[in-house]
Amino acid sequence: MTTRRSVLVTGATGQQGGAVARALLSRGHLVKALTRKPDSDAAWRLASAGADIATGDLGDETSVRKAASSVDTMFLMGNSYEAGTEEETRQGIIAADAAKAAGVGHLIYSSVADADKKTGIPHFESKYLVEEHVVGLGIPYTISAPAAFMENVVAPWSIGGLRQGEHAFAMPPRRALQLVALADIGAFAASLVERREQVFGKRFDIAGDELSGEEQAQTLSRAIGRPINYQEIPIAAARQQSEDAALMFEWFDRVGYDVDIAALQRDFPEVRWHSFADWAREFDWSVLERTSSAG
């Protein structure tokens, strides 16, 4: 076992932060989970798993600095869907400044793959502004930049379609997209924590698989045990829901992520790197049997 680290995890009661916290705990590290909702079910589950729960808000420099004062590493992530892109950037910069003020020895910032490529996608650009700030702080840092989550297939906006036998997405059926499992994002962050000096000043785009919507639907059909058909959502319909999302889908189709998956698997063999088929086989599809109100 490498050195036991103490890590402040922001967003710990959400999907990605939760995966990071669980991966760190499973490897014997000390986790302090920063949350605005210390009495939530997610916070309670983390506490039960051994995490120390710290109440704080990314936009409140004092609370972040206080939580970070007793750790040697910090995992920082924002949420543009919840906060909006401008607020995500503002909070990220405040929290990064707090990490520096607290003397954190390693700041890991979770961005998004290709955010450094001038994509023009608002929630990519908002993260890149935080990246640039982190780089300029003069403290040891690493950027982890995941591609799209495999778990988006079962997100609240997707699961209703799956119950009807449809995997719907705003991309042509044969256009490939790179994906990553949340468990692998967590395991990769744990690797960065453990490698420490070896990854200072580095940026990593991460993904575990690359396949088209049609191929995803075929994989889901096998895993779920009944036919799932791919349904292309028109960009115009996506745009009615979110201009930000529509710009992302157009970029996916026009350019797309370009993670070197083979190099990543070679350089980080300790991460399992689920294929989409691995992920689908392991997922508990009983969620599809629940009513939509409970789902």
Whether the predicted pLDDT of 249 surpasses 70:
yes
The string of pLDDT tens digits covering residues 47-104 is 999 999 999 999 999 999 999 999 999 999 998 777 789 999 999 999 999 999 999 9
Give residue-wise pLDDT tens across range 25-46.
999 999 999 999 999 999 999 9
**Burial class of residue 293 in the structure, from the number of CB atoms within 10 Å of its CB (0-12 exposed, 13-18 middle, 19+ buried):** exposed
Amino acid identity of residue 123, one-letter, is H
Residue 2 is predicted with a pLDDT of 72
Q: Which pTM was predicted?
A: 0.95
pLDDT average, residue stretch 201-214: 98
For 234, counting Cβ atoms within 10 Å of its Cβ (0-12 exposed, 13-18 middle, 19+ buried), the class is exposed
Q: Residue 293: which residues within 8 A CB-CB, separation 6 or more?
A: none
Distance (Å, whole) CA 207 – CA 181: 8
Per-residue confidence (pLDDT) for residue 159, from 0 to 100: 93
Predicted local distance difference test score (pLDDT) of residue 82: 79
Average pLDDT, rounded, for the chain:
95
Contact yes or no for 102/54 (Cβ under 8 A): no
